[in-house]
Structures are given as C-alpha cells and as structure tokens.
Amino acid sequence: MYAETARPVDVAAAEAQGKFPRVPEKWLSRITNWGIELRGVTPVPLEERTDSRFINVFFVWFTLSTNLLPIITGMVGTFVMGMSLRDASLVILFFNMLCTIPPAYFSTFGSRTGLRQMLHARFTFGYWIVSILVLLNLCTIAGFGVVSSVLGGSTLAAVSGGSIDDTAGIVVIGVCGMIVSFGGYKFLHQYERYCWLFALVAIVIATGVGGSKLSQQTPTEPPTAATVLSFGGVIAGFLIPWAGMAADFSVYCTPTVSTTRIFAYTYLGLFLPTVPLMTLGAAIGATMTSVSEWADGYATYGVGGVLEAMLQPAGGFGKFVAVLLSFSLLGNLAASMYSISLNFQLLLPFFVRIPRFIFSIAYTAILIPVSVQAAKSFFTNLENFLYVIAYWSAAFVSIVAVEHFLFRGGDCTRYPHESWDKAKQLPSGLAALGAMALSFGFIVPCMGQVWFTGPIAKTTGDIGFEIALVLAGLLYVPLRWVERRVWGV
C-alpha cells in the first residue's frame, strides 16, 4: 500500500506541506476512503518509495500503447502521405527503435530521484522558467487526450448507427477517463495491469474479421526521402513526448531497482505494441480507398466508422467489439489526465496547494469542447499536432539529457529534494530556455507543415525534430557553463 492512500489523512501535516488548501477533515477523510490520491507533485521521500512490483511499469506503458492511437498514427503514412505498406512499415520499425529510447531512460528518473518528470525538469529549467515547459507539456498531453476522445467518441457514434452523435460519445469517454484518473498512482497501476487484455483481444478480433480485405491495397509510387523523413517526424511526435511524463509512473518504485530493469520495462512496454499496431494502421490506411464500405464509414463517422465497417460482418458481436475498442482508449486517457493534474500543480507555484483531482475535473471540462472541434478535421489536426510537439519535445529531451550526463555526472543524488521549491538553489533556467529558443532559429527552416514549409524542408522533408534533438543539446553546453559561473548553481 502507498502512504498517500493507505493511512488516514493528517490534515495539519498536509496543510503545512502545502499539499492542499484548508479543507474540512471529514471531507478529506471521505475522499481518501474513496481511493482518491491526495498527494500531489511534491517529491516522494525515500521511505515512501517502496513499490517492488516493477512489472507494473511495463503494463502502464503497454496499456498506454495498446489501443487505437498507434493504429491511426500508422494510417498517416499510407492514407495521408501515400506510402506503400512495406515502406511505411520499415519507417515505423526503425523510428520506433530510436524514438522509444528517451521516454524509456527518463522513466528511470522516477525511482532514482523521487521526482515527477516536470518537477525533475526544474533542476534544468529553474523554478520559474520551467512553467513554460510545463505549459508546452500540458498542451502535448492534453492533445493526446483530445485524439483519444475523438477516436473513442466517433467509434461509439458509429456503433450506435447515429442514435448518439460524436459529441455524446466524446462526453462519455472524457468523463470515464476522468473517473479512472482520480485513483492516482496506485489505482492506475492496477487498472493498467489488466485493461490492456480487453483492448488487445478486441483489436485481434477486428483484424481477424476485416483482415481479408487488407490485401486490397491502393498502388503507390516509391516514396521520396522527404516523405520518409516526414513520416518519421510523425512517429517521433507520437513517442518522444512521453518523456515529458515518463518518471510519473515509476516514482514510487524502490530505488534499489536497477536502471536497466526500469528502462527495459518502459522500452518494451512502448515498443512491443506500438510497432505492430502502427503497421496495422498503415495496412488499413493503404486499403481504405479501395474498400467502399470502409471509405463510406470514414466519410460518415471518421476513423470510428472504418472500425465499425471492419467489424460489420460479425453483426451484433462486432458492435460489442467496437465498443471495447472505443473504451480501450481509457487506459491512455486516464494516465494522461493523471499526469496533466500533476503538471498543473507546477504551472504556477501556488497551484501546488490545490488538490490534484480538481485539475482532472477542470481538464475534462476543457477537453470535451476542444475534442468536438478537433473531430471536424481529424487527420489534418492529428498530423500537425504530432509534428509540432516533436520539435519542442526533442529539444527538451536533449537539454535535460546534457544536464544529467554532463553537468551532474549522471548522478541522481545531485537532485536534492530540499531544493525543489527554492528558486535560488535551482538553475536560473536561462541557459535551457536560451538553447531551446536559439535552436528554433534553425528548426523553423526545417519544418514541413501544411501551414508552413521552410526552405530546407522543401528539399529534405520535415527534419525539425532531428535538428532539435542535436542542436538544442549542443547550444546548451556553453550557455549552461556561463550560467553556472554567473548564477552559481
């Protein structure tokens, strides 16, 4: 059992630590008895890092990736960019091998430091400037939540035959995800340990029922290097941003666990489901225009309509499986909401006094109307979203990695808990912000977007995330050296 839910709430101690504002004791006790986690983003002390069920780390990431999100990401390569299944599959394999590394390594920070991911980032970006990164991370995680809600909502609408619309489906998925996220770390670990099974069975059944038509692929021309790199950027935008929340799901693990073990569990939890599901999505995307039922389903209900059309031969059972597919997104959405609520507490210093679950409610209220709007032009919004978040996420990963390995010698004991809320004991953050801002001077010409294509990207395709990954770290070295001389930290 974990300390934040297993013992009665000590209101006085909690208020003194700034975990939540002054709330009547009977309400706090009742909330705790319901299983809602009250501990927020504050560091987890060594004595509370006692979780030895390390395999749960694997299941969290496996469940985050065993749903419709990788499938629709794979569809971008074939349905949107016009690649063949073979070419898209090769890009999926090799970019997954590379882009899964950052979140897998950042996941090891949780058990070794007791710091949530964005709290850990304060030791690079400083007490105040980290709010900029938190805002970017909030937009990123919230964006994945929007994609999940749109997918789940459109699938429920398609299954109902129009008796409920996309908006109602989005509301159902959003509220269910919020309820699951209330439980916090302990409940999420238990939920994610088992719910992947239903999602996987539903995906296998859908593939089996509609798989006979996957051979009817539309002929394509060989892809250009620019197309390959652009699709690689989409995959990077799907995987690298998980680094912004990776430590959140291992923060209660005992620090005696080896770094290799947490790394391997996170890497495999992401890689094993993502590659085959993205490949399945690429196969569906390559077939959609050739199968009239699938094309009609997409025209009417979006991606949810395609899934419903694939399962149509199975009759009522197929509709049940489609419902399971829509709710398979809850594992991803609930984990995202949990991380969002922690990020909100770092957005402004006084937010740490607001209970974490309040932010889950606020986010859900924002999620639903945004998802309704995003559903109107789904693939365009998805592609643009994945590209843009890849840029800042790659720069963030590069800068934090340089700080950790070069300036802190890879030693996690050099992130002292007592400094987490003391601005003068943390870096100013100017070096990190400067490195990120300067890197965008070269990233922008390498961007290839619908709304803007830089001069370099016109020849090479979108290589913005590759530039960010290399250039931001290189720029950070001299800037951080100057910052340490001037600031002293």
> Is 233 within 8 Å of 467 (Cβ atoms)?
no
Domains of the chain: 39-377 (1.10.4160.10)
DSSP one-letter string for 451-479: S-B-TTHHHH---HHHHHHHHHHHHHHHH
Helical spans, DSSP H, in 114-224: 117-120, 122-125, 130-159, 166-182, 184-210
For residues 56 and 188, what is the distance between their CA atoms, to the nearest angstrom?
10
Angstrom distances, CA of residue 469 to CA of 107, 177, 265, 324, 393: 18, 32, 24, 38, 8
From 229, 243, 261, 209, select the one nearest 58 (Cα to Cα).
261
Which residues are bridge partners to 253 per DSSP?
51
Walk along the chain (489 residues) and give the pLDDT tens digit of each residue.
Answer: 333 433 333 333 344 444 444 555 555 555 555 555 666 788 988 888 888 889 999 999 999 899 888 998 999 899 888 899 999 999 999 999 999 999 999 999 999 999 999 999 999 999 999 999 999 888 888 888 888 888 888 888 888 776 777 778 888 888 888 888 777 777 777 788 888 888 899 899 988 988 888 888 888 888 888 889 889 988 998 999 999 999 998 999 999 999 999 999 999 999 999 999 999 999 998 998 888 888 888 877 777 788 888 888 888 888 888 888 888 888 888 888 888 888 888 888 778 777 777 888 888 888 888 887 776 666 566 656 666 787 899 999 999 999 999 999 999 999 999 999 899 999 999 999 999 999 999 998 988 776 678 898 888 878 888 899 999 999 999 999 999 999 988
For residues 180 and 191, what is the distance between their CA atoms, to the nearest angstrom?
8
pTM for this prediction: 0.87
Angstrom distances, CA of residue 489 to CA of 64, 129, 416, 423: 37, 15, 12, 10
Torsion, Cα of 216, 218, 222, 224 (10° steps): -130
From 245, 237, 236, select the one nearest 266 (Cα to Cα).
245
Element (H, E) at 378: helix 378-402
Q: For tokens 């990431």, what's the residue? A: 61
Number of alpha carbons in the 13 Å side-chain half-sphere of residue 97: 5
Torsion, Cα of 11, 17, 20, 26 (10° steps): 0
